[in-house]
Amino acid sequence: MSTNAFDSDVLDHEAGDGTVIAEVRREAALLKTGALQNAILNSANFSSIATDEKGVIQLFNVGAERMLGYTAAEVMNKITPADISDPQEVIARAEALSLELGTPITPGFEALVFKASRGIEDIYELTYIRKDGSRFPAVVSVTALRDDQNSIIGYLLIGTDNTARKQVEAEQMLLDQRLRDQQFYTRSLIESNIDALTITDLRGIITDVNQQMEALTGCTRDELIGAPFKNYFTDPGRAEASVKRVLRESKLTNYELTARARDGMETVVSYSATTLHDRDRKLRGVFAAARDVTERKRFELTLQENNVALESAIAAADKANLAKSNFLSSMSHELRTPLNAILGFSQLMDSDSPPPTPSQKASIDQILHAGWYLLELINEILDLALIESGKLAISRESLALDEIMVECHSMIESQAAKRGIRMSFPRFDEPCFVYADRTRVKQILINLLSNSIKYNQADGSVVVECAAVAPDNFRISIRDTGAGLPPEKVAQLFQPFNRLGQEGSAEEGTGIGLVVTKRLVELMGGKIGVESTVGAGSVFWFELNSARAPLILAGRSEAEVEEPVQARSGAPLRTLLYVEDNPANLKLVEQLIARRADLKLLTAINGRLGIELARSMLPDVILMDINLPGMSGTAAMQILREDRATRHIPVVALSANAIPEDIERGLEAGFFRYLTKPIKFKEFMEALDQALEQAQSALPGAVTTDVKAPNASL
């Protein structure tokens, strides 16, 4: 029989007996439902626990066995679900339900099924305890099982392992907490900033601010957010332009604006801003920081006003000093002209033949005495004016004190002998050197010695002492046996034109000498003082910086000192012109050049004479002092460089001006080399050799301004 035939027979049969067909379908549905129920009960992903009405476990599926580690035989008819639940959670659930439902609920199984027993849907979280004691979170759904009469015959508890979800929740909570912490930290940074911070969008609308911005504008954060940034400044156009400029140039610094608060108060601020991007580097807006610079602007304005006032005061002082200097210079010139005639003709009359009568001689002596005194006064006033105007040139070098003492002794000896004053000068067992100006040291000593003789007692004495008072200082003391001075007069010693009550005495004086002496000592980096006792005399002292011996005398080996530099075989005799007004420096260079058989030395004592010698003798090299009388060495060098006949001659500067600025100015002015005093033997000779080599290679008329000198030594 074919299949189609069989199907036809079945259909015919069903058509004949509808009751049988219905029964077959019902059985098939029951089988299908049973299969589904069996699949659910035996699912390994859910724990299905069924109990009787008292809570004793009657069904414990495969999922429950896998989750809890028990076999069905170990729990069925023996324990309730409460026995595999966290007891503290069960107690807590009973208390919560009792409070919620207003009826006492016993901790235990009742607490797990109470809502279900009342027909209330109940899904809760609970911690299950495995057979091995480990724990895991579960989500439990409870359903009451009822018979046909709607009586409860048991409970079904379906649970799922909630561990994974709990972990995800814990991680999410941690991330949320970290995010909150980061937001709090970021906000704290923003709020703790001393500047007013503002964030705007691309349109210049404020999206966030800090408390400083609230204080600056007098508006709350809520009021500021959503408002245009430009609205809070006295110049809205400039404020809006700043936002556009930041968007265009990516940043902006020190952009000044004036903020206006709600109450009208204005604050000058300095803005710095940058663009703001999201994590995808998309431009989102502008981040700006404004710092209150009101006080700074006020200070700058005050400083500017003070500077103007100071510049005005300095200009007035300079003008006054210039006027004073011009007046003194003019006065000196105008006084010297007639004084020259007075002294000149007086000396002619004094030496005339026939000689003047005794009466005439006495008158002439009075004229000469007054004239020389007036000349001394003019010289001292001019010295003081030069010192105070800063125009007195000081040329410091290493000086031997024994030489200075000998020269001063010879100069003052006749004055002391005339008054019967005994002089005592120190003896030096070994040379002592100070770093000072030779002429000014002698001026200081002569002035102090003269005063010690002038204000001494008859047949008194003057003792000069010299001692090292520190590793870098020498003190020279002049002790006399005069009347001495009380403390109040000692305090007035160095005041100009103050002769301490000696104006009516037989001793003449200007009252300026000690003032000039003090200024000269201080100009050379020293200090001066006096100690005096009434009836015992006075001690005037001054201190100067000690120095090493000049390099030609010390610091080299015996072979270097004694062996002269020999000229190269067949080398022509070359000429060196040295322009210097200081005799000691001339003598030193003469001794140095004497060691060079290939050099001939010419000397000039000032710039003008040096220029004349250079033009007439055309030396190979010129050695030039800077501080020359009448014309500076720099000015003389520039005149020589402008002359076609002498411009090719290398000019080497030799100066006691040894600070870096002086050296730099000298080299920039055009000196071939700039050497400083004290002279360094090796460097001095090397500089001469380089200059001679340059002179040999340079053609007459060639310009040598591009010659670069080696580093000058200090």
368 has a pLDDT exceeding 80: no
Mean pLDDT comparison of 7-21, 288-302, 473-487, 497-511, highest-scoring range: 473-487
Mean pLDDT of the 11-39 span? 62
According to the model, what pLDDT value does residue 487 have?
84
Distance (Å, whole) CA 124 – CA 138: 8
Confidence of residue 342 (pLDDT cuts 50, 70, 90): low
CA nearest neighbour of 263 among 315, 215, 334, 300: 215
Checking 266-273 for CB contacts under 8 A at 24+ apart, the result is 266/234, 267/216, 267/292, 267/294, 268/292, 268/293, 268/294, 268/297, 269/196, 269/216, 269/293, 271/242, 273/242, 273/243, 273/246
Mean pLDDT of the 234-239 span? 92
Q: What are 516-560's pLDDT values in tens digits?
A: 888 889 888 899 989 888 888 899 999 999 888 775 544 343 333
186 to each of 190, 271, 450, how far by Cα in Å? 6, 21, 82
Mean pLDDT of the 620-649 span? 92
CA nearest neighbour of 637 among 676, 607, 668, 602: 607
Mean pLDDT comparison of 41-55, 122-136, 689-703, highest-scoring range: 122-136
Alpha-carbon dihedral sign for residues 42, 48, 52, 53:
negative
According to the model, what pLDDT value does residue 685 have?
87
- Which of 19-23, 598-602, 607-611, 626-630 comes out lowest in average pLDDT? 19-23
Q: What are 558-601's pLDDT values in tens digits?
A: 333 334 444 444 557 899 999 998 887 788 788 778 878 889 99
- Which of 291-300, 321-330, 466-475 comes out lowest in average pLDDT? 321-330
According to the model, what pLDDT value does residue 551 have?
57
407 has a pLDDT exceeding 80: yes
Confidence of residue 498 (pLDDT cuts 50, 70, 90): low
Confidence of residue 16 (pLDDT cuts 50, 70, 90): low
Confidence of residue 463 (pLDDT cuts 50, 70, 90): very high
Confidence of residue 389 (pLDDT cuts 50, 70, 90): low
DSSP string for 30-84? HHHHHHHHHHHHT-TTSEEEEEETT--EEEE-HHHHHHH---HHHHTTT--GGGG
Mean pLDDT of the 35-46 span? 63
621 has a pLDDT exceeding 60: yes
Q: Which residue has the higher pLDDT, 11 or 99?
A: 99
The secondary element (H helix, E strand) that includes residue 290 is strand 283-292
- Confirm if 43 and 25 have CB atoms less than 8 A apart: no
The secondary element (H helix, E strand) that includes residue 117 is helix 109-117
Query: Before 354, cis peptide (omega within 30)?
Result: yes
According to the model, what pLDDT value does residue 483 have?
83
Mean pLDDT of the 624-636 span? 90
Confidence of residue 333 (pLDDT cuts 50, 70, 90): very low
506 has a pLDDT exceeding 70: no
Confidence of residue 663 (pLDDT cuts 50, 70, 90): confident
Mean pLDDT of the 115-128 span? 91
Q: What are 266-281's pLDDT values in tens digits?
A: 999 998 999 989 888 9
184 has a pLDDT exceeding 70: yes
According to the model, what pLDDT value does residue 41 have?
61
Confidence of residue 334 (pLDDT cuts 50, 70, 90): low
Give residues with Cβ within 8 angstroms of 587, minimum separation 6.
Answer: none
Confidence of residue 635 (pLDDT cuts 50, 70, 90): very high
Confidence of residue 493 (pLDDT cuts 50, 70, 90): confident
404 to each of 152, 440, 466, how far by Cα in Å? 134, 11, 12
Q: Which residue has the tokens 């009586």?
A: 151
* Alpha helices (runs of H) in 467-543, residue ranges in sequence order: 487-490, 513-523
Mean pLDDT of the 68-84 span? 94
According to the model, what pLDDT value does residue 714 have?
27
Distance (Å, whole) CA 469 – CA 457: 30
